[in-house]
Structure 1
Amino acid sequence: MDGSVAIERNWEALKRILVMLVGMAEMGASGRFVFSSQKDGAIRKQVQAEKREPSPASDPALILPRHLYRAILRLLRPAEAATRRLIIAAARGIVVALPRPRKPKPDPAIRRGPRAFMPMGPKKRLWPTARTWSLPLLDPLHRPFRVHRPHLPAHAAPRISWLDFNARLSPLPPPPSPDDPIDAARLGARLEALGRALDDLPGQAKRFARWQARRDATLSQGGSAAGRSRRISPLRRGRPPGCRLSRYDPSADHPRRVREVDEILAHAHALAVYALERPNTS
């Protein structure tokens, strides 16, 4: 099974969906959202080509109305899961060599000798750098033992005036509105990470191959290393995150609630499962 054609077709569809999501974010942010995935990235060029006017980069904060934030998030989650599975499928047959393990650092007292007990000068201040998000290679796991505590919204809280019936009650906050502003900085970072992953799919495939090599090396040594639990499979059990299809069937009639990204995710999931079950070691 050669999935290069299927990977490329789904990759093109995901690029189109990402361009649509970036356009939705710019529409909600009134042009203050600047998509800068890579300077010469193919997706960034496509985004710039579909713009009518260049958007100013004056306000780095991304504020979106609630309804638009949720609409983008409903499409972004399955798009991220589909890209992750395309990376797994593209990594089939890639063999990487792990570098030698680093030597443990010596104790500071041994390294400095008699000066270890002398007062040290002030440490140099490291200026914070802009954090670059990367697309996670592993699916988020289910939390079956998570305790769901009952949540009461603020606008429906009980009015308790103690024993003073003449006390003036403070007004309750209004119920959430679809037009409420929401800080979408993390959402913008996830769009950037998705764009970088789609722009460099072969590089991400090598990144996943390195993760597989580290996992195999850890399992060959007899379990977890450094007291941390390791993931064996990058995919979680059950349906992929955000998907509405249980399996990929191009000849089946899907209900109206099934979106294009659901079909892409179901197809990419089948490619990833095939790549994990039948690795190409030739």
Structure 2
Amino acid sequence: MDDGKAISALGQALRRIVATITAMAGFGEEQTLLRRQRNTILRLLRPAESATRRLIVAMARGLAVHLRQPSPARPRRLGPKPQTRRWPLVLSLLDPQRHRQRRRWVRRTSVPRIMHLGLAAALPLVCRPLPLPDDVLDAAGLNARLAALNGALADMEGRARAFARWQARQAVAANALGAIAAGEPAPARLLRRALRRPLRIGRAPGNSRRSPHEIHTLLAQTHTLALDALAPP
């Protein structure tokens, strides 16, 4: 089976799974979820986002795009800033970068009990409650991520063209970086764009080898297609 048929089959399977996740979350109806419900949805949403991102990368292979010339810098406007328009959340075409050090949450059980002169009793100790499975949490952010994922699946061709334009801009930045003299320092913005990777090195975000869910099989297949699309000719 060629890449076109594989991408079409994987896209249909991915849309079916995302529709199931959307039904589980009650998208557009419930603005709150229990903690156990939210954790279950997130365990499926993360690999679904990664699989969609990799499917878009595979679709962008060989697309010819035209980059617009950068517009000249506009003079700075004085006075109050105009009201900014709120744009909806869009699925990122690049994998989120790894955090070097994660901040671990530790339950505070004791603090130094310092007494001051003239203070009769010690200050009360306020402890953060332990997270429970039945805690009611806000689901607005989860609904926004689901909306972005459904929007990306509905416009796969448009998102693939957007990724092809990003690749073209990255190639321009790499060429400009190579043209800079060896002794001249490169601009930080140009260096970040030239060295930015679209996919993480190693396992895809949300990948789980122990989970038997179908989404992880789709993620492995889309990951292989994306790596083949990004490989140099």
Q: TM-score, normalised by structure 1?
A: 0.69
2:58 is aligned with 1:89: yes
Q: Which amino acid is 1:241 matched to?
A: P
Residue in 2 that maps onto 1:49 = none
Q: Deviations over 1:179-214 (max 9, x none)?
A: 111122111111001001101111111011100110
Find the partner of 1:103 among 72, 96, 117. 72
Partner of residue 162, structure 2: 207
Report sequence identity in percent.
Answer: 41
Q: State how far apart, in whole Å, the 2-side matches of 1:107 and 1:177 are.
A: 51
SS at structure 2 position matched to 1:234 = coil
> Aligned letter for 1:213?
A
Taking a change above 3 Å as real, the CA distance of residues 176 and 15 of structure 1, as seen in their structure-2 partners, is: same
User: CA contact under 8 A between 1:88 and 1:208: conserved in structure 2?
Assistant: yes
1:120-139 aligned within 5 A: 123=80, 125-126=82-83, 129-139=85-95
Contact 1:161 1:169 in 2 (8 A): no
SS in structure 1 at match of 2:19: helix
Highest Rg: 1 or 2?
1
Q: Which structure carries more relative contact order (alpha carbon 8 Å, separation 6+)? A: 2
The alignment status of 1:227 with 2:185, answered yes or no, reads no
Change (3 A) 1:227 1:278: closer
Aligned 8 A contact 2:22 2:146 in 1: yes
Name the SS for the 1:101 alignment partner.
coil
Helix, strand or coil: the match of 2:177? Answer: coil
CA distance in 2, matches of 1:67, 1:97: 46
Q: How does 1:107-118 map to 2 (within 5 A)?
A: none
Unaligned stretches of 5+ residues in structure 2: 181-185
Query: How many positions carry a matched residue from both structures?
Result: 221
Structure 1's unaligned 5+ residue stretches are 27-32, 35-54, 56-60, 109-119, 246-254
The TM-score, its normalising length taken from structure 2, stands at 0.83
Q: Which runs of at least 4 in structure 1 moved beyond 6 Å after TM superposition?
A: none
SS in 2 for 1:203: helix
State the Cα distance separating 1:158 from its structure 2 match: 1.4
**How many Å separate the matches in 2 of 1:169 and 1:212?**
57
Gap change, CA 1:107 and 1:172, over 3 Å in 2: closer
**Cα RMSD over matched residues?**
2.8
Per-residue CA deviation, residues 75-126 of structure 1 (Å, 9 max, x unaligned), is 1111000000000101111011111121223466xxxxxxxxxxx7x63752
**1:29-48 superposed Cα distances (whole Å, 9 cap, x missing partner):** xxxx42xxxxxxxxxxxxxx
